[in-house]
């Protein structure tokens, strides 16, 4: 028996097996999300680690029905189903409801034995017609430590930004007004002349006005405007 040849063949087989085997990612993550706005609320957030090459949305692309439901009505169930179908590790709705201005919430993810190397955080912004906050497919660091990212506001492009109150259901004008916003949102707005853009883009921001019982919008321009970024996301890799 040629021992040298046997060792060489064994090394080659081991290398081949390594190349063929799926790449796994192992990490315990703590994900803290802080709302940096003056008067914008975040609806329940989807927080997930998912495989390389996957994402829930792309800038300049038309929004899926699942992203539309999230951006117009705060429904993350469709996004969660997509993430589940690709084997994502999820810790959704860590705040247990709305994340109020200035507040923080924390989610934990364990990616042990998975190929989930990207982090996504996404949720609707209120009051907006189809605005959402997102950290989109951020590469998860492999070295233990604490890392900080800043999330922007996006527009799903699925609904006209008329800035008037309504049900917020997909395909309908208006945004939902949960109890915390009742005292802040006006009435009688005629609506801004606008149309859905048809693609996902950086949000222009609310325009609003200062007429609480009329004007063109129901949004208070002194409270509900913002500049990017709108959320601070701190990721601790253990």
| pLDDT, tens digit, 9 for 90 and up, residues 52-109 | 999 999 999 999 999 999 999 999 999 999 999 999 999 999 999 999 999 999 999 9
Q: What is the pLDDT of residue 20?
A: 39
In a domain, 6, yes or no: no
In a domain, 89, yes or no: yes
pTM: 0.88
Q: What percent of the chain has pLDDT over 70?
A: 86
When divided into structural domains, the chain yields a total of: 1
Q: What's the token pair of residue 62?
A: 């038309």
Q: What is the pLDDT of residue 24?
A: 52
Q: Over 60: is that where the pLDDT of 201 sits?
A: yes
Q: What is the pLDDT of residue 84?
A: 98
CB 189 within 8 A of CB 216: yes
Long-range contacts of 208-215 (CB under 8 A, 24+ apart): 208/163, 211/186, 212/186, 212/187, 213/186, 213/187, 213/188, 214/186, 214/188, 214/189, 214/190, 215/186, 215/188, 215/189, 215/190
In a domain, 128, yes or no: yes
Task: For residue 67, give the 3-state DSSP assignment.
Answer: helix
In a domain, 100, yes or no: yes
- Residue 210 is given by DSSP the state S
Q: What is the pLDDT of residue 166?
A: 87
Q: What's the token pair of residue 233?
A: 């996301």
Q: What percent of the chain has pLDDT over 90?
A: 84
Which residues partner with 235 through β-bridges?
Answer: 31, 147
Other Cβ atoms less than 10 A from the Cβ of 167: the count is 13
Rounded to an integer, what distance in angstroms lies between the CA atom of residue 105 and that of residue 47? 11
Angstrom CA distances, 129 to 70, 142, 154, 174, stand at 11, 37, 11, 6
In a domain, 166, yes or no: yes
Q: What is the pLDDT of residue 57?
A: 98
In a domain, 87, yes or no: yes
In a domain, 84, yes or no: yes
Domain interval for residue 218: 24-237
Residue 123: CATH number of its domain:
2.60.40.2130
DSSP 160-193: -----BS---TTSSSB---HHHHTT--S-----S
Half-sphere exposure of 209 (CA within 13 A, CB side): 18
Q: Over 60: is that where the pLDDT of 128 sits?
A: yes
In a domain, 4, yes or no: no
């Amino acid at each position: 028996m040629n021992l040298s040849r046997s060792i060489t063949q064994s090394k080659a087989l081991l290398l081949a097996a390594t190349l063929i085997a799926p790449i796994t990612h192992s990490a315990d993550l703590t994900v803290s999300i802080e709302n940096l706005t003056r008067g914008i609320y975040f609806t329940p957030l989807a927080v997930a680690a998912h495989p390389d090459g996957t994402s829930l949305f792309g800038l300049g692309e038309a929004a899926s029905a699942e992203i539309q439901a999230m951006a117009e009505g705060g429904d993350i169930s469709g996004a969660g189903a997509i993430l589940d179908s690709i084997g994502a590790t999820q810790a959704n709705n860590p705040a247990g409801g709305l994340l109020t201005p200035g507040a923080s919430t924390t989610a934990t993810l364990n990616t042990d034995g998975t190929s989930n190397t990207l982090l996504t955080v996404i949720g609707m912004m209120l009051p907006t017609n189809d605005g959402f906050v997102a950290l989109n497919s951020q590469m998860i660091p492999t070295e233990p430590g604490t890392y900080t990212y800043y999330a922007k506001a996006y527009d799903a492009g699925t609904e006209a930004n008329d800035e008037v109150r309504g049900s917020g259901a997909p395909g309908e004008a208006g945004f939902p007004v949960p109890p915390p916003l009742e005292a802040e949102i006006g009435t009688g707005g005629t609506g801004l002349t606008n149309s859905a853009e048809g693609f996902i883009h950086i949000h222009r921001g609310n325009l609003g006005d200062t007429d609480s019982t009329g004007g063109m919008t129901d949004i208070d321009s002194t409270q509900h405007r913002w500049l990017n970024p709108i959320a601070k996301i701190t990721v601790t890799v253990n």
